[in-house]
Structure 1
Amino acid sequence: MIQKPNLATRLQRTASATSLAIALGCTPTVASAQSAPDVTATLPPAAATDGSPAGGIGDIIVTARRREESIQNVPISVAAFGGNTLAERQIDSADKLTQLAPNVQFSAVAPASGNSSSSAIFIRGVGQTDFLASTDPGVGFYVDGVYFARASGTAISLLDVDRVEVLRGPQGTLFGRNTVGGAIQIFSARPNFNGVSGNIGATLGDYSRRDVKGVLNLPITDTLALRFAATKRDRKGYVTNILSGRHLGDVDTFAGRASLLWKPSDKFEALLIGDYTRDSVNGSPTVFGGINTSAAFVRFASAIAGCPGFALTTPVTLVPENNDRRCANNQYLALGPYKVASEAPSKSQLEMYGAGLTLKYEPADWISVKSITAYRKTKPFSIRDADNTPLLILETVNKDNIKQFTQEVQFVGETANSRLKYLFGAYYFRETDYQFYPVFLPSQISATTGEELRVGGLNNNASIKNQSIALFTQESFAVTDKLNVTVGLRYTRDKKEATPYETAAGSGYGYTNVGYNVAYPAPLNAQMVCLGAPRTGAPAAACRGSNIYLFNPVLNSKTSSKVTPAATLQYQWTPELMTYASYSQGFKSGGFNTRIVQPVISANAPTGREFLPEFDPERVATYELGGKLLVGRTLRLSVAGFHSKYDDIQIVVREGVAPVVRNAGKATINGFEVEGTFSPISPMLINFGVGYTHFEYDSFTPALLAGQIGLAPHALGVVDLDDKQAYSPDWSLNGGVAYRVPVGQGAITPRADVAFRSKTYFDAPNTEQIAQGKYALVNISIRYQAPENRFSVAAGITNLTDKAYRGSGNSSLTASSGYAEVTYGPPRMFTVEGTYNF
């Protein structure tokens, strides 16, 4: 039987047939299934590795539709970047993809998480700000085909990356789950049989930055190859706690990966990948964002500290601390973006490891069978000072032990004449987590009894179990040589289970339960103030409330299912011009709020304590028109316009102290993306992207309206119909230019990049105190590449203009806790790096 030509041969034929040249160092990559050199993402010497002349625009192969295709033929709004391209643009972690892709917002610190390795990701106005295991993200995140279910661990280091693909819009008929807003796919470089090879490199910079990395590709036999990659990144934090001297926003990360490829024949291969990541830093770069001095906890904490104008309602003897700098007011805004006065021992840690086995079998030219089996364990831990003041107003500990198993099977093939291409797949997902979330509220040691005066903290603990199954299919039929029709269908069944163990909370960071004497105290009510345990003793009788459950510790179970279709019409006007029209639906299951501090009355919970409050699934239906154009070696252009109807939107609002997920209602999202690469002359390459997202609420659900009864329209903390979606600026632009200057057989390439975002809100009520106005980031670099790419050296500056900008925010100004917090991105930083290739 005649075998299909391998991908490298097909790429050469494609390049020859379309007269495409190999691109300069700032273009996206040609993504090879054999992890061939990233020829379109490097700066070649006199000629490219496949014999094409240097300069111009090369082809890009992506797997956005689970098969290898030129990006020019994919009827999807997709951006792709090679590993070398990312390095040249100084993109070393996943959250920095925001700077490259329009209509994509990727924050490394999810609101209220306190963890520098967690994230909030939004594409085209669809995403999720909550990071809990009881709430699913709105954007699918995949590494080597394996879905990462939690926000924790997605802001990962980009280690030995082959390519990154960013897919916008619902992708439900091709991906395992939760691709309602889009998908980000990261593919690591695979082992190859081209001999022993690899690289070692180091990066130095200000803020005591010291990074080292290494890659080793080791063929063992003609059919077995190993690849190792590791990196160690260190950098001092850029936010200083003026009370403790600790530097927050630091980097202390180790990441390693080992992959084993066995390819005994052209028909079968097995790829085993194991990875490990450890991140341990002083805390996320979160600082004071504002305070409400009328809020109950603020008043109580201020009174304990002896602040002028504050008094306790309960007669107890305290040790006053008449130090005005400890008193709660907005003076802490004057510290600026890179200083904080926090008394909490902030901490951010992550340990994550996993293994995945991908089996691929091609019994015939017309079919391929793939199995992806993976297990992952993620253990995030953080201590967070929510108010970011010297007072104990509200502090949290977040600790999870997340275990995930996934199994996916795909059948991909085509008919003998290639008129019909098909895919059938099945997916299984199982996840467990025990969330341990103590919340610490105002307290003080009594001078007379040595006992602790406490408002009453909480243990927001819960046992979580999530399960999902899906069946999906997609078929593409070539009606004519130019007209192609694609249809897809996906069935999803998700089951969510949560058992709460929410009790009165503990004393100090040793997690000792002391509790309080009533389950739901009113703010500053005398009942809520109770003398708890001495630091070395048992709780006083009046405070033995650790066995008082705020919600009944019973199993809460919710099952959601949905059939979501997709359809696309694609027309190839010429070999260089393609247009398409598509319709797709996305679905994200509902769940339970496991972070609650007050009863929520509902039909099945008449006292508010019988069952956890739940929220329903959300759905997105998107219509998209797009086109792609290639003009010789000079211009590649991609245009897409979309219209989305968003139903039962899951947003986070404040009810009492806690952030809870509610279904907001309906919204319409309109927008577009324009992306391109332009090479007016051979040594120069220009890339650009423009994105626009206009989010508008159409109506609210009765539940959301009921939660805002008695609140004035447009009041602080109220969600209004004219509010924008969180993490969804109207405008997002990026651009870059590189110019290759030959130096002997090598080359020097200066490069400049800019990324712009219009005003961005970080919560559903659009709280101005934590919003970020329009801003632009400028990065520059210069790189020397030696002949035959034996080594390279580079120097770069990120955030050249030293812009202070917010990357995330969280507000509880209207609640009893009365605080706001914001996280700032890094200031201007310098780096010098070198890489030796062998």
Structure 2
Amino acid sequence: MDIKIAATLFLAGTSLVAIGAPAWAQSNSSHHYNVSAGSLQSAIDSYAKQSGRQIIYRTDQISGLRSAGVSGSLSDDAALDALLSKTGFVARRGPSGAIALVSAGNAQSRVAAVEAGDASGNQAPPAQEGLQEIVVTAERRVSNVQKTAVSVSVREGAALRQQGRYSLQDILQDVPGVVGGLTLDTVGGKSDNAGSGITIRGLSASVLATGTNVSSVPATAVYVDNVYEGLGGSYDIGRVEVLRGPQGTLYGRSATAGVVAIHTANPELDHLGFDGSMEHGNYDLQRYTGAVNVPVGDDLAIRVAANRYSRDGYVSREGGAMATTAARAKLLYKPSDAFSVLLGAQFEANTSHTGGTQYILTSPNRMEATSAEIGSGKTKLRQYWGEFNLDLGSVNLTWLPAWRTFQQDAALITPSPSTGSLSQADYTPKDHFLTQELRLSSPQDGKLTWQAGGFYYENWLTAFTSLTFLDSGAVSFTRSNDRHTKNAGVFGEATYRFTDDWRFTGGLRYDYTYVRNEQLYNKNTNGFPFPENPPIWSSLELTGEQATRRFNNITYKARIEHDVTQDNLLYAMVSTGFLPGDVQVATGASGNPEVMPFNAETVTSFEVGSKNRFFDRRLQVNVDAYYYRFSGYQTNGVTVSGNPQVLSFITLSVPARMYGGELELLYKPTSNDEFQLDYAYVNAYFVDRPELFARYAAATKFDNVVPHTINAAYTHTFDLKDGSRLALHGDARFLSAHSNSGQFLTPDLVAQGAGQYVRVGDEIIADFNATWTTSDNRFSITGYVRNLTNNRYKTNVLVQTMEPLNVKATPYDPRTYGLVVAVTL
């Protein structure tokens, strides 16, 4: 220890601790870190041992604080930022060269006080006047979000809980450039892939003729705890990372539009504790969530979390009602800093209802409720996974195996003025997923850092679908699927540092995809299936090589980045992504079953961006702009018959372009005030429309894409006399006028005026919440209101016919309010 520091600490007679190497050894080299989540003091002690750095802190100031830990190869500074993330403390180097932990506000002026052992220099709790450091693993390595050269937004789990936001759609509602996310009641149950309802920068999944979301390929890859399409992302959330733009090199399959990565809480080795919350709201909403962390010895810990959620429907009590029961167990074994094993098991059961009351558009801006039968859906999901990390010295090894199962028995009830209610039955007795990823990465102490690995995905699906006219009992079609999908990919990415502030990153990936989709499709070709008209069946069976498709895809990334200053980053890159193709059977233009193939879709993105902090890190301004070239958007969700009783489809493909940008501004002028302003613009349009596309689709732009979105939020915190705090938060979202439909309108429908029915005007949605927190952060009470003005504008408009008028829509969620009580022990 430096003699001057040791003397001043001793003479001060305060609870200051200095750990690690002398000040002259404080270089910013890189190491492979493995610091477990737990108390901040234990985390800092472990960090000091692994880095060899000297860290000065006051034990009385950091007592009771917790750190999320850090794992992976990264620089000493980045590792320390990760450990201090969301603690209210930052690391600053003082005049002597030693590194001190000080509160985020007025950090530099307090370093000298800590070094000098001034007992008055840091007595108050962390002021948190500056913006907090946020650590992400967006590029499969731990890094500060402001030093990560990719367009990424982060939402913290605690804030989501206070705002009553748990479903993926609600979590993503204020992320710039992002729309959608499946809710719990999709198709009377739940999709087996969460990414199919997400649109990022205008890119979304292809529309299938049958509308099913079972094992279709989404354009956005969703990861939960590093597992592709993992379970349990709606409770015990730590943070959510949203990456915009193609991420094909590191994530491969489905990462064409971007990635949503949800991280839930992991076991802590040195903490026996409990986190719980209870939420009650209107529409008889009830949510009970709890998690217990139990250390078993010095190197083993278990965390068990559970969630129960239920609410009534928004119009009729039973129609739209839903309930979810889920539980997760994680076991962490860490015998040394060089090796760790994380094992997990998750189960989930969902029950939901459709029908009851649904809405028909009687004019472009008037919705009327209509009664319908009630359909129910049940799903059961299971998942078992692991994460193995091993530091071999010159290379670090990570292995991520996972096994997931999905079962569904659901009915979707929809009303139709011309045919009566329809019931789509989806029965999925077998839907099994195996994923494995093996990744090698280098330490980050040289000019060249790299990571490489392989990914394997396999899905076995057996599913049955039918569509029935409830009034007559006549069946429109039936379909059975036996589907086998395999995907194998290898990838590599490296970053070379030309100088301390210039870097180049290059990545390359190869994917092989195999799809065998054997199907038996039966179509009732009688255009008016009423009891007096017997069915006329036409069948097509797809087997063997006719049902098989193989795809080879190469994706790449090239990026240059420059640190203008420590707080200002510029980057430019080109990257690519892909969606593998498919094959299915549906009713064709002839009215009989036809084979409808899909080719692979690719996108090339050109992007520039900048990340900045100003005014002593109180103001954060991130901005990016992009241009996409999309090889060919495909859909067979276009009905070509114009007759709601005779649904027939055709596969269409058209090249597309997208351009736009995002602005994210965060300003914290004082320790008690925070402003947030986000803006996104996107123009997604088709080019060189083929004659066949123009014949059946009137669209010149992508549907369901909002050109302009603005999110504004303000939070003010009142410091109360007893040390507790009251935080008031308000936010509002502006969505510019756009088309909101789940289909391509034909030129005939547009000529009959259908365009005005799917057109949504400018809309504003406002939310508010207030949270009281005790001085020790162990107890809080939150009251929230979502959609303050009860703005129930039309969404998911479906035009079947204009003559007679047959247009359905779903109102936006009504005003909801509730109370959340949370405790941390």
TM over 0.5: yes
Aligned with residue 198 of structure 1, among 264, 268, 274: 274
What TM-score does the superposition give when structure 2 sets the normalisation length? 0.80
Question: 1:283 is paired with a residue of what secondary structure?
Answer: strand
Aligned to 1:300: none
Report how far residue 332 of structure 1 moved: 13
Provide Cα deviations, 1:328-350, integer angstroms capped at 9, x if missing partner: xx4999664xx4311x3322332
Q: Which residue number corresponds to residue 492 of structure 2?
A: 473
Q: Which residue of 1 aligns with 2:598?
A: 615
Alpha-carbon deviations, 1:668-725, whole Å to 9, x = none?
11100111211112210112211111112112245534x63xxxxxxxxx3332x3x1
Counterparts of residues 514-553 of structure 1 (less than 5 Å): 520-521=525-526, 523-524=527-528, 549-552=539-542
- Quote how far apart the aligned CAs of 1:105 are: 0.6
- With normalisation by structure 1, the TM-score equals 0.78
Q: CA deviation at 1:824?
A: 2.6
Which residue pairs with 1:293 in the alignment?
Answer: none
User: Is structure 2 residue 768 aligned with structure 1 residue 780?
Assistant: yes
**Corresponding position of 2:619:** 635
The CA deviation at 1:253 is 1.2
Q: 1:597 aligns with which of 583, 587, 592?
A: 587
SS at match of 1:461: strand
Aligned residue number for residue 352 of structure 2: 281
Distance 1:768 1:212, change over 3 A: same
Query: Aligned match of 2:337 in 243, 263, 266?
Result: 266
Matched, 1:755 2:733: yes
2:671 to 664, 679, 682: 682
The one-letter code of the counterpart of 1:577 is: N
Cα shift at 1:227: 0.3
Query: What is the 5 A alignment of 1:798-813?
Result: 798-813=786-801
Aligned to 1:711: none
Contact 1:30 1:82 in 2 (8 A): no
Please give the secondary structure, in 1, of the residue aligned with 2:326.
Answer: strand
User: Counterpart in 2 of 1:358?
Assistant: 387
Distance 1:137 1:102, change over 3 A: same
Identical residues among aligned pairs (%): 21
Show the counterpart of 2:482.
463
Q: Which has the higher strand share?
A: 2
Alignment partner of 1:795 is 2:811: no
What is residue 148 of structure 1 aligned with on the other side? 229
Does 1:434 pair with 2:462? yes
Give the SS at the match of 1:173. Answer: helix
Amino acid corresponding to residue 511 of structure 2 in structure 1: T
Distance 1:111 1:89, change over 3 A: closer
Which residue is 1:124 aligned to?
Answer: 201
Secondary structure at the residue paired with 1:769? helix
- What are the within-5 Å matches in structure 2 for residues 266-415 of structure 1? 266-283=337-354, 287-290=358-361, 330=362, 336=368, 339-342=369-372, 344-364=373-393, 366-387=394-415, 392-400=420-428, 401-414=430-443
The alignment status of 1:733 with 2:752, answered yes or no, reads no
Question: Counterparts of 1:487 and 1:284 in 2: how far apart (Å)?
Answer: 51
Matching of residues 14-93 of structure 1 within 5 Å: 32-33=69-70, 52-93=126-167
CA distance in 2, matches of 1:251, 1:159: 16
Structure 1 stretch 231-240 or stretch 247-256: which is displaced more? 247-256
- Where do 1:152-167 residues align within 5 Å? 158-167=234-243
SS in 2 for 1:472: strand
Q: Secondary structure at the match of 1:345?
A: strand
SS at match of 1:84: helix
Is the alpha carbon distance of 1:781 and 1:134 closer, same or farther for their aligned partners in structure 2, counting shifts above 3 Å?
Answer: closer
Q: Distance in 2 between matches of 1:42 and 1:802?
A: 37
Aligned to 1:834: 821
Quote how far apart the aligned CAs of 1:75 are. 0.8
1:621–1:333 CA distance, 2 compared to 1 (3 A): closer
SS at match of 2:170: helix
Secondary structure of 1:370's match?
Answer: strand
Q: Matched residue of 1:207: which SS? A: coil
For 1:249, the equivalent position in structure 2 comes to 320
* Larger deviation, residues 179-188 vs 757-766: 757-766
Bigger Cα displacement from structure 2, 254-263 vs 655-664? 655-664
TM-superposed deviation, 1:284: 7.2
1:761-792 deviation per Cα after TM superposition (whole angstroms, max 9, x unaligned): 23353654244332121111111101211211
Residue aligning to 2:75: none
Query: Which position in structure 2 is the counterpart of 1:691?
Result: 680
* Offset at residue 442 of structure 1 (A): 6.5
Equivalenced residues, count: 714
1:288 Cα deviation after fit: 2.8
How far apart are residue 141 of structure 1 and its match? 0.8
Aligned partners of 1:668 and 1:696 also within 8 Å: yes
Offset, 1:127: 1.0
SS where residue 699 of structure 1 aligns? coil
Q: 1:66 is matched by which residue type in structure 2?
A: R
The one-letter amino acid of 1:262's match is: Y
Q: What is the CA distance between 1:592 and its match in structure 2?
A: 1.6
* Aligned twin of 2:659: 670
Match among 708, 719, 722 for residue 742 of structure 1: 719
How far the C-alpha of 1:97 sits from its partner, in A, is: 2.6
Q: Alpha-carbon deviation of 1:531?
A: 5.3
Q: Once structures 1 and 2 are overlaid, which stretch shifts more, 31-40 or 491-500? A: 31-40
Q: Distance in 1 between matches of 2:577 and 2:648?
A: 25
Q: CA deviation at 1:387?
A: 2.7
- Displacement of 1:600 in angstroms is 6.4
Unaligned runs of 5+ in 1: 20-28, 241-245, 291-329, 445-451, 505-515, 533-541, 602-607, 709-717
Correspondence 1:474-493 to 2 at 5 A: 474-493=493-512
CA distance in 2, matches of 1:551, 1:502: 6
Structure number with greater CO (CA < 8 Å, separation at least 6) is 1
The separation in 2 between residues aligned to 1:346 and 1:83, in whole angstroms, is 33
* Cα pair distance change 1:813/1:30, threshold 3 Å: farther
Hey, what's the Cα distance between the residues in 2 that align with 1:37 and 1:462? 47
1:208 paired with 2:186, answer: no
Is contact 2:417–2:806 with CA below 8 Å preserved after alignment? no
Q: Structure 2 CA distance, aligned partners of 1:134 and 1:276?
A: 19
Equivalent-residue separation in structure 2 for 1:764 and 1:53 (angstroms)? 52
* Partner AA of 2:657 in structure 1: T
Distance 2:201 2:650 in 1: 20
1:173 matched residue in structure 2? 249
Tell me if 1:232 matches 2:308: yes
